[in-house]
């Protein structure tokens, strides 16, 4: 779903560069699963607060969590662009 929207928009893709890969390959699907697992482990690493004080302490972790998610998304997007540009086949 996200890939179709990204392919339709020229965001981050140089229009002068001829894209070689248009369809998703097995290696790309596997690496997407690895990124999803990394995000899942990041979410599961946080604990559910049971008291109000623990809830306030967990708000301190929101900024590093957001930074980690942002960095993972940026790496995923560059990975996506790489496979669109060079179109490796498996």
pLDDT digits (tens, 9 = 90+) for 1-59: 666 666 666 655 666 666 666 677 788 888 889 988 988 888 887 778 899 998 888 88
Contact 86, 17 (CB under 8 A): no
pTM of the model as a whole: 0.66
The Cα–Cα gap between 82 and 67 comes to 23
State the pLDDT confidence band at 83, using cuts at 50, 70 and 90: confident
Q: State the pLDDT at residue 58.
A: 83
- Cβ atoms within 10 A of the Cβ of 28, count? 19
Contact 72, 38 (CB under 8 A): yes
């Amino acid at each position: 779903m996200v890939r179709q929207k990204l392919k339709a928009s020229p965001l981050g893709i140089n229009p002068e560069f001829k894209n070689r890969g248009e369809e998703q390959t097995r290696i790309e699907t596997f690496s997407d699963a690895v990124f999803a697992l990394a995000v899942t482990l990041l979410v599961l690493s946080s604990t559910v607060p049971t008291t109000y004080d623990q809830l306030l302490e967990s708000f301190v972790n929101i900024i590093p969590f957001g930074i980690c998610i942002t960095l993972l998304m940026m790496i995923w997007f560059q990975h996506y662009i790489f496979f669109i540009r060079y179109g490796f086949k498996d």
